[in-house]
Amino acid sequence: MNRLPWSEDDEELCHGGSAPPRKKLRLTREQSRLLEDSFRQNHTLNPKQKEALAKHLMLRPRQIEVWFQNRRARSKLKQTEMECEYLKRWFGSLTEQNHRLHREVEELRAMKVAPSTVTSTSSLTMCPRCERVTTAASPSMAASAKKALPLKEREH
């Protein structure tokens, strides 16, 4: 299978001399697959599990431990990247929404300046919860705002 060319005992023998060059093991596909399976079940191992896995994969327990440490780090990094992407998209949609609202404010101001063009009251609706008056002409905005917010913040 796939073991380091020297054992821990070898390293002890080397004391006094120069340390052996750090050799890097490449895990086989099968070893990686089993480690991934194990990681999916549990992100940490107890000593017994570690020992068993090491025996099964013909690796040292320390190598299993290191693999799990690195795997947790990779997993966390990926999670952070995903969250970052999500926040970027959210920020983008909020910016877009903000622009639309600014435009609408400008339109409403323009209407105020020219009262003859004011929307008839029948086209205005009032939100029963926040008691704000909105035009019925902009339901899409409400929908897009809803889309942009995460679930727990959609509560109006």
Partner DNA sequence: GAGAACTCATAAATTACATCA
Partner DNA sequence: TTTGATGTAATTTATGAGTTC
Picking from 127, 11, 129, 46, the residue whose alpha carbon sits closest to that of residue 54 is 46
Among the residues of the chain, which ranges form H helices? 8-13, 29-41, 47-57, 61-113, 139-148
Please tell me whether residue 73 binds DNA under the rule CB under 7 A.
yes
Our finding on whether 7 is near DNA (CB under 7 A) is no
23 near DNA (CB under 7 A): yes
Q: Which of 33, 56, 62, 88 binds DNA (CB under 7 A)?
A: 62
Smallest gap from residue 2 Cβ to DNA (A): 9
Q: How far apart are CA 138 and CA 156, in angstroms?
A: 17
Residue 21, interface with DNA (CB under 7 A)?
yes
Q: How far is the CB of 85 from DNA (least distance, A)?
A: 16
Residue 63 touching DNA (CB under 7 A): yes
**Integer CA distances (angstroms), 154 to 45, 122, 147, 150, in order:** 39, 27, 8, 6
DSSP letter (8 states) at residue 127: -
Size of the chain in residues: 156
26 binds DNA (CB under 7 A): yes
The residue ranges that bind DNA (CB under 7 A) are 4, 21-27, 32, 44, 47, 62-63, 65-67, 69-74, 76
